[in-house]
Structure 1
Amino acid sequence: MAVVVVMGVSGSGKTTVGTALAERLGVPYAEADEFHPKANIDKMTSGVPLTDADREPWLRAIAAWVGERAADGGVVTCSALKRPYRDLLRAGGPAWFLHLHGSPEVIASRMAGRTGHFMPPSLLASQLADLEPLGADEPGMTVDVTRPVAEIVAEAASAAR
């Protein structure tokens, strides 16, 4: 079983969908934010977008987690905004991507309504500018974030097997 990477911009619902999907599949779950070095979190908290160089150690740590779970599966959240980032994650082991996609208005509304997260809504535009949708040759699927979580999880659980 491939590790499922729940991807999308901040505010797309990665944590909500990822935890529910891991529970449904009966596999370990990991939150990508926990892999960030403090310097990355400080940078984002201050409203400064991360560079590719900032993201590389974070992505390598997630790729290692993917590799450790290659035999038994798992679910991890990760923005995985660009194809090279997803390539790096796949280098860790088999990965299947669930892209949570929504309009900028829907995502901005979600970000404005949440509390306790270090990512400010001001960085949404930079994430949307970096986002490269899944390529036709990349294993995974894209779903609309306005669908009920239970529907998304059921469809992803069926498709990811």
Structure 2
Amino acid sequence: MGDETLLLVMGVSGSGKTTVGAMLAGRLRWRYAEADDFHPAANVAKMAAGEPLTDADRWPWLGAIAAWMDERRAAGEPAVVTCSALKRSYRDLLRADRRDVRLVYLRGDRELIAGRLVARHGHFFPDKLLASQFADLEEPGVDEDPLVVPIEGTPDEIVDRIVAGLDT
């Protein structure tokens, strides 16, 4: 592994962020956080009602995630955090002055992800919001030095790809 002490695993809803992020953190023996846990109740209610979040809804949420990241860094605790981080401006906020953060982008096509969302139960994010996720998605640029990982295959295979990519 390189100098990363915090991995930011990003992608649209249904790309496997939570499953893969938790497994990755377990394999690395690092702390883990899921960005959905930082949403205020109003954001969760809005998404559950089928309404996409606005940037105004997202900024306080992203600030809470950034604060958690800073707490981990200050404590010297390596960590994995999963967050959609669809827009460059969101990633810029989460990576600002944090050179030890490595971006891991879980990339998949709309058909594969739509199939996963239809099969998913017990999550507040309805599959009809997937179109808004892809509309908002600004894939990471080369200057963000992302580790781009295809999401085809099992979660174990995806984690293997991430670990192998971090070792190069």
Would you say same fold, with TM above 0.5? yes
- Alignment partner, residue 33 of structure 1: 36
- Alignment partner, residue 102 of structure 1: 108
- Among 20, 24, 32, the alignment partner of 1:21 is 24
Matches within 5 A, 1:27-66: 27-66=30-69
Counterpart amino acid of 1:152?
Answer: I
Distance 1:15 1:52 in 2: 22
Distance 1:117 1:150 in 2: 22
Percent of matched pairs sharing the same residue: 56
- Alignment partner, residue 9 of structure 1: 12
**TM-score normalized with structure 2 length:** 0.90
Runs of 4+ in 1 over 6 A off after TM superposition: none
How large is the RMSD of aligned CA atoms in angstroms? 1.4
- Judge conservation of contact 1:140–1:160 (CA < 8 Å) in 2: no
Where does the alignment leave 5 or more consecutive residues of structure 1 unmatched?
Answer: none
- Among 113, 116, 124, the alignment partner of 2:130 is 124
Where does the alignment leave 5 or more consecutive residues of structure 2 unmatched?
Answer: none
**TM-score normalized with structure 1 length:** 0.94
Matched, 1:79 2:84: yes
Distance 1:51 1:13 in 2: 23
Distance 1:21 1:128 in 2: 25
Count of residue correspondences: 161
Distance 1:60 1:92 in 2: 14
Offset, 1:75: 0.5
